[in-house]
Amino acid sequence: MSDELASPDMSLALDAPQNVALTSEWLLGTSALLMQHQGATETAELIADVTSVDVRLWDTQFDQEGYRIVLVVEPRLYPLYDEAAQQSIKRAMSMILGPAGKDIDEFHVRPEIPRLASGWREQVKSVNGPRPSNQGRKPRLEPRHWVEDQLYFTNQYEQQLYQVLKKRQAALPDNETIGIMPLGGMRVRRRVLEPDFLITYRGRVAVIELDGPHHRDRASADHSRDRQLRHAGVSFVERLNVEEVNTLSEVEKFVDDFLAQFGR
């Protein structure tokens, strides 16, 4: 069975009711892959990091449709989308839309608006307090997050994996322990990554990434991230698909296989 994403009906406006649910992911995916195939990997990665796209018909002249396009990105990534980056992304999307008689009249980038919780003052003060941390930057701004051992997690899958890793850590002697760093900010070339887990063991460094349903649509971005991590000295990157793991024993087997490979 093919996992190819559906495309919008280009005979209609991109914001027509039949196209609304398809346009954002289709425009992002096709633009990112086009840039990757052309060797513009930085532009491809920036497109892949966009959360969503708001596409609105703005003007129509003769047979040409003009659109207002607004990229929505995570607040922490917003500074990366400067004028040069926006122009590169706009050119990529114009190459996708142009053959169908669709132009870009306006192009903007805005940060995603955080969800507001009653304890927002405490969240802001804890993040910007006297002891800043690179750990779990995004989860710490969410209204509800998972915490264990004063470490933050994005979801229960990450916390469960952490618990299994911690259990294996406790079974090792002090002179052969593993280091477990969840959601640590890491600066690589031209961007900041936040691996789900960075593990140290026997003088080596590896990364574990937890993949959910959204990763099917971002495979090219994941491969690029993995490559940058390896270039930065990470020995290898292992991925755990949470959709294929149904029991604790399966998580434990994954961790045991990971540590066996890591210790070689």
CATH number at residue 94: 3.30.70
Identify whether 48 is part of a domain.
yes
Identify whether 155 is part of a domain.
yes
Residue 36 neighbours by CB under 8 Å, 6+ apart: 44, 220, 224
> Are 164 and 38 contained in the same domain?
no
pLDDT digit string (tens) for 25-67? 999 999 999 999 999 999 999 999 998 999 999 888 777 889 9
Identify whether 4 is part of a domain.
no
Identify whether 131 is part of a domain.
yes
At 225, which CATH number? 3.40.1350
> Are 24 and 69 contained in the same domain?
yes
Highest mean pLDDT: which range of 5-14, 80-89, 117-126, 129-138: 80-89
Q: Choose the final residue of a domain: 58, 89, 111.
A: 111
> Are 155 and 56 contained in the same domain?
no
Residue 25 φ then ψ, to 5°: -70, -35
> Are 96 and 200 contained in the same domain?
no
Question: Sorting pLDDT into bands at 50, 70 and 90, what band is 1?
Answer: very low
Range of the structural domain that residue 219 is part of: 120-262
pLDDT at position 57 = 92
> Are 64 and 136 contained in the same domain?
no
Identify whether 64 is part of a domain.
yes
Using only C-alpha atoms, the chain has a radius of gyration, in whole angstroms, of 21
CA atoms within 13 A on the CB side of 261: 15
> Are 188 and 136 contained in the same domain?
yes
Cα 103 → chain centroid? 28
3-state secondary structure of 170: helix
pLDDT digit string (tens) for 173-228? 888 889 999 988 888 877 788 889 999 988 889 999 998 765 455 555 667 778 88
- This prediction has a pTM of 0.52
Count Cβ atoms below 10 Å from residue 186 Cβ, excluding itself. Answer: 17
> Are 127 and 51 contained in the same domain?
no
> Are 226 and 145 contained in the same domain?
yes
Identify whether 3 is part of a domain.
no
Give yes or no for a contact between 92 and 35, defined as CB atoms under 8 angstroms apart.
Answer: yes
pLDDT at position 133 = 55
| Number of domains forming the structure of the chain | 2
